[in-house]
Amino acid sequence: MKELEYPFDPEWILKKKKALKRELLQNTQQTFLEKKIAILGGSTTRDIRDILELFLLNYGIRPCFYESEYNQYYADGMFPNPALEEFHPDILYIHTSNRNIEQYPSLEDDRTLVMQKLQAEYERFQALWEHLHAVYGCPVIQNNFEPPLYRLLGNRDASDHRGRWNYIQRLNQMFYEYADTHQDFYIHDICYEAADYGLERWSDPFYWNMYKYAMCVPAIPYTAFQLARIIKSIFGRNKKVLNLDLDNTLWGGVIGDDGPENIEIGQETSLGQTYAEFQDYLKQHKKLGVLLSVNSKNNEETALSGLERADSVLKREDFVDFRANWEPKSRNLYATAEELKLLPESFVFVDDNPAEREIVRQEVPGAAVPEITKVEEYIRVLDRSGFFEVTNFSEDDLKRNEMYLANEKRSRMQKNFSDYGDYLRSLEMKAEIGAFGPTYFSRIAQLTNKSNQFNLTTHRYSQSEIEQIAADPQYLTLCGRLEDKFGDNGVVSIVIGRKEKDVLHIELWLMSCRVLKRDMEYAMMDTLVKRCRECGIRQICGYFYPTAKNAMVKDFYALQGFEKLEEDAEGNAKWFFRIPEQYALKNQVITVTES
């Protein structure tokens, strides 16, 4: 819904929240992900809850809430709380602000005393986080602290150990240190939001003293939006691909008319510099694992000549897919999605031309189409939209673009083989398959939240849940990495099975679509059978739960040699496999090492 995308009108959202909610829930095309969110507030949270709900619904997440009574965040979180335990939250959000700091420095304090106060304040929070982690084992989102509204020491407040502003920044640093070294713990940066919004308005004491809101009410949509970004990222609803126009988007001018020597890019002009900054901003996304692709109305050769300029920050090899032609852009976008085996709705289409944006908006439901108009605003609009909000950052993200480029090479090579088996053998694939290990916990959780297509049950797991499962002898887990002569694909397949006497129930089987048709699913099956035998399991039950996106694996278990036991009207099916005395290995093309 465009009204809930950046840049939005916060007052309008507040006024229309009831009507907006009604409208969002009427969207019958959306299958909502249901999530339970507990808000532990140090101030009033009612509208934060209501507006957060709107943004989450817009991301396809339908929340239900637990909301602590006013300022009960500590008592609710720290002490036995049957209501919260029964609620069984998927996310705990601690909404505190500098109004909740219990001990500030006073002017007569020496450095040691201030340090003690800081430590006490920090430990109070740390105890809460650790308690929450132990009892609820779900991700925790914690606000940092916004700057103080007044500075008793003026500018010195920032640097003096007795200054509140100095104190708040040091406390924030301690929070960051914890966040940087703990999984499933995320900082919601209200300090940046307050600065961005304007601290003077943000901290208008009217709203605290009248209603006990930690920020002014019109700022609530800003803060709720940022919070929604973190939550949708945790639940795998980030975008994955930037689909970019060229003329007047990546450089100034129309290359077909002006010629590559006359487009605006590089350090020579202010306009050229602005485009170069934008290109640099985009290029940095590669390391986050965001894929870059081109979607331009140009002849291919002409389009390439722009990227070949020495001062072009982006080069041809930065793009995993490149389409410069005269096809409708919506068709190009679908073709790129097909090529990358990603869903069109995971795309962000960036084009300065409003007509092209409108076509894509109409033809590609779910794709994001930010309103960009002036080059000096491109970065701000993309950045503030939060399409790629980073919550977990794995080794895999750093390498993702390389992996897709390797895929391009593979598909070129495939054309040289008439026999598909020969092609697969020529890839010299090596897999490492074994039980879940700590190195991969983060990536495993990420995959369970991101994989939609090759996913039999679409169960989502937090990292804490993955850790629990890995440690639980009732479970048999497998995680598979695949590499070949073109590169390392990283962890691409996950299986979670629950043992019940001599039966294994497969609660999750997924694979990344980037390794489709490489026989990795057979290598996983072979190892699964071997591990089952080692622990006395004779039968395997597989489950298929259809979603809007996983039709490709409807008959997956049939291919693996399972028999269908039952299927209901919605297509939910149960499959059965008895491990034979003589099990013939299914995978013939991948060399497997077990770990």
Q: Which residues in this chain contact other proteins in the complex, by CB under 8 A?
A: 11, 14-19, 22, 44, 46-47, 206, 209-211, 213, 217-218
50 vs 160 by CB, closer to other proteins: 50
> Using CA of residue 81, residue 86, residue 89, residue 90, what is the dihedral sign?
positive
29 vs 209 by CB, closer to other proteins: 209
- Beta bridge partners of residue 64, listed in sequence order: 36
Q: Taking the chain, what is the end-to-end CA distance rounded to the nearest angstrom?
A: 46
Q: Least distance from C-beta 34 to other proteins, angstroms?
A: 24
11 vs 371 by CB, closer to other proteins: 11
b/e map 498-507, b = 16+ CB within 10 Å: bbeeeebbbb
- The two most distant CA atoms of the chain are separated, in Å, by 83
- Beta bridge partners of residue 349, listed in sequence order: 243
210 vs 535 by CB, closer to other proteins: 210
Q: Least distance from C-beta 12 to other proteins, angstroms?
A: 8
> Using CA of residue 438, residue 134, residue 95, residue 32, what is the dihedral sign?
positive
Q: Least distance from C-beta 219 to other proteins, angstroms?
A: 11
* C-beta separation of 485 from 205 below 8 A: no
47 vs 402 by CB, closer to other proteins: 47
Look-up of token digits 């290990």: 437
43 vs 296 by CB, closer to other proteins: 43
Pairwise CA distance, residues 495 & 186, whole Å: 27
Q: In what order do the strands lie in the sheet with 590-594?
A: 563-567, 573-578, 539-544, 503-511, 487-500, 475-484, 429-434, 590-594
15 vs 485 by CB, closer to other proteins: 15
Q: Kind and range of the H or E element at 494?
A: strand 487-500
Q: Least distance from C-beta 176 to other proteins, angstroms?
A: 32
Q: Least distance from C-beta 220 to other proteins, angstroms?
A: 9
Q: Least distance from C-beta 198 to other proteins, angstroms?
A: 15
215 vs 590 by CB, closer to other proteins: 215
Question: Which burial class, exposed, middle or buried, applies to 15 when counting CB atoms under 10 A from its CB (0-12, 13-18, 19+)?
Answer: exposed
- What is the amino acid identity at position 348? V
71 vs 457 by CB, closer to other proteins: 71
Q: Least distance from C-beta 45 to other proteins, angstroms?
A: 10
> Using CA of residue 212, residue 214, residue 220, residue 226, what is the dihedral sign?
negative
Q: What is the DSSP string of 67-90?
A: EPSTT-HHHHHHS--HHHHHH--S
- What is the amino acid identity at position 66? Y
Q: Least distance from C-beta 68 to other proteins, angstroms?
A: 15
Q: How far is CA 573 from CA 452, 542, 578, 586, in A?
A: 18, 8, 17, 23
Q: Least distance from C-beta 51 to other proteins, angstroms?
A: 10
218 vs 328 by CB, closer to other proteins: 218
Q: Least distance from C-beta 218 to other proteins, angstroms?
A: 6
15 vs 554 by CB, closer to other proteins: 15
b/e map 470-485, b = 16+ CB within 10 Å: beeeebbbbbbbbbbe
Q: Least distance from C-beta 385 to other proteins, angstroms?
A: 24
Treating both helix axes as pointing N-terminal to C-terminal, what angle do 17-26 and 46-58 enclose, rounded to 10 degrees?
Answer: 30
DSSP class of residue 275? H
- Beta bridge partners of residue 186, listed in sequence order: 141
Q: Least distance from C-beta 326 to other proteins, angstroms?
A: 46
60 vs 218 by CB, closer to other proteins: 218
**Which residue from 226, 75, 34 is spatially nearest to 141, judged by alpha carbons?**
226
